[in-house]
Structure 1
Amino acid sequence: MTPQQLYNELNYVNHSREKRQYYANLVIDNTDLVPLLLDILFQVNDPISCRAAWVFEFMCSKKLEASLPYLDTFTNQLHTVHRDSAIRPVAKVCEYLVTTYYNQPQSQVRQKLTESHKEKIIASCFDWMINENKVAPKAYAMNCLFLLGSDNTWIHPELRGILERDYQMQSSGFKARARHILKKI
């Protein structure tokens, strides 16, 4: 499949679980499409980039290992994503990576996720926490930062400060996740 063919196929992706799963399976079955999918995902001003992000998230939920050869590409461009409907799935992928890294010590993620990758995820997560983003990316970012804080002692105090500062102004979903994280810190 050419990049243009994949781009055209992404026009058929919508919010339905069936469509996202169908295209995620297509990419899982042909992992040569992953770099093409990421190229489209990081065309951040194109509305189709959001659909690429949805597919990438679904692919990672089923087969996270397929993303590992492309961690440099993903983490180097992570900060460029700015559309709300693309930030959420990208933040979710970060959560998949970080959660797997800390909860499955024998996983391939543990071998492939470098300090440089983690630093870029940390920077993006803090950006999502302090910028005007929706609750879902903030919740995923909180979880990532909490876990990453076990290796980086400066993260927990910074995260605590943000959560306490923003607590009263945020939604009930934010407050629930923040309470959970604050108890753990």
Structure 2
Amino acid sequence: MTKEQLYNELNYVNHTREKRSYYANLIINNPEFLPDLIEILFMVDDKISCRAAWVLEFVFNENLDLLLPYLDVFTENINKVHLDPAVRPVAKICEYVAKAYFSKQENNMQVKLKTIHKERIIETCFDYMINDEKIAPKAYSMNTLYLFGKEFDWIHRELVTIIDRDFQMQSSGFKARAKQILKNIKKQ
């Protein structure tokens, strides 16, 4: 399948789990399509990029190792993603990376994730926290930052400051996640 054919196929992706799973499995079974899908994700002003993000979220939920060869390109470009329907899955993928990196089970992410990758993810997640994003990207970013704060001691201070500043203005979903993150930070 060419990049153009993949782009056209993404027109059939919608919010349903069935469609996203179907196309995620197509990519998992044909990982040679992954570079094109990632390239489409970073066509950030094109609404089809959001559909690529939805599929990538499902792909990496099933097999995060597929992201490993693309960590450079992914982390170099995530800060450019700005359309709401694409921001949420990108934030979720960042959370997958952080969870894998801090997992008690040994995995490839712990070996392949470099400091520069972590710094780019951290920067993007802080941007999501301070920008006018919806609750889901903020929630995923909070968790990602909490996890990376175990390694970079300055993160928790900054995260607490942002949460405290924004707490009263945010939704109940934000507040619930924020309370849990603050509780976890205090435990450490």
Q: What are structure 1's unaligned runs of at least 5 residues?
A: none
- Amino acid corresponding to residue 73 of structure 2 in structure 1: T
d(CA) in 2 for partners of 1:88, 1:130: 15
Identity %, equivalent residues: 59
d(CA) in 1 for partners of 2:117, 2:105: 17
Q: 1:56-135 alignment to 2 at 5 Å?
A: 56-135=56-135
The count of aligned residue pairs is 185
d(CA) in 2 for partners of 1:100, 1:32: 23
d(CA) in 2 for partners of 1:144, 1:125: 7
- Amino acid corresponding to residue 43 of structure 1 in structure 2: M
d(CA) in 2 for partners of 1:104, 1:123: 25
1:47 paired residue number = 47
Give 1:105 deviation, angstroms.
Answer: 4.6
TM-score, normalised to structure 1's length?
0.99
d(CA) in 1 for partners of 2:73, 2:104: 23
2:17 paired residue number = 17
The yes-or-no answer on 1:137 pairing with 2:137 is yes
Give 1:104 deviation, angstroms.
Answer: 3.8
Post-superposition Cα deviations, 1:110-138, rounded to whole Å, max 9, x if no partner, equal: 01111000000000000000000000000
- Amino acid corresponding to residue 129 of structure 1 in structure 2: M
Give 1:4 deviation, angstroms.
Answer: 0.2
Post-superposition Cα deviations, 1:137-159, rounded to whole Å, max 9, x if no partner, equal: 00000000001001111100000
Give me the CA root mean square deviation: 0.6
Deviates more, 1:103-112 or 1:56-65: 103-112
TM-score, normalised to structure 2's length?
0.97
Deviates more, 1:103-112 or 1:128-137: 103-112
- Amino acid corresponding to residue 149 of structure 2 in structure 1: G
1:162 paired residue number = 162
Q: Runs of 4+ in structure 1 displaced over 4 angstroms?
A: none
1:184 paired residue number = 184
